Amino acid sequence: MGSPFGILLILLLSVIMFVGVVWCLMWGLSLLHHKLALAIGFAALVYIVLSAGQTLWGCAADPVLVPPVSGEIGEGRMTFSCDGPGGMLSYGYALVFAPLAFITVAISMMWLRRREMKNV
C-alpha cells in the first residue's frame, strides 16, 4: 500500500491538471468571445462545488452494521463510509483541494474579465 502523502500528491497533481485544462479552455475561448470563456469557468466552479458537496454528503452517511455470519459468536462490525486511506483521499479533496481549485478558477475568471474590460 502506498504512502498517504503519495496519495495526496496524486490528488494534487490531478487538481492542477483540471485547473490547467479549464484555464486553457477559458483562454482559447476568450479569443472567440469572453462570455464563452466565463461560461466555461462558471461551469467548472459549479462542478467543483457539486463534487465536493457530494463527497462530503457521502462521507456523512450513517455507518452500516454488518451482522456476524450465522453460527459465529459476536456482535458483527460497523462499516463507516470514508474510513481508511480512501476516506483520507475523499476528505482531502473535499476540504483542501476543491476549495483551492475553486479559488484558482475564480481568480482566473476575474483576471479574464478584467482583461476584457481593458480591451473594450
Quote the pLDDT of residue 120. 62
Quote the pLDDT of residue 2. 58
In angstroms, rounded to a whole number, what is the distance separating the alpha carbons of residues 85 and 14? 17
What pLDDT band is residue 54 in, cutting at 50, 70 and 90? very high
What cell numbers appear for 98 in the block? 476543491
Quote the pLDDT of residue 98. 92
Quote the pLDDT of residue 79. 81
Q: What percent of the chain has pLDDT over 90?
A: 23
Strands 64-66 and 77-79: antiparallel
In angstroms, rounded to a whole number, what is the distance separating the alpha carbons of residues 55 and 94? 6
pTM: 0.78
In angstroms, rounded to a whole number, what is the distance separating the alpha carbons of residues 91 and 27? 31
Q: In this predicted model, what pLDDT tens digit does every residue of 81-97 receive, in sequence order?
A: 888 777 878 888 888 88
**Cβ proximity of 55 and 95 under 8 Å:** no
What pLDDT band is residue 15 in, cutting at 50, 70 and 90? confident
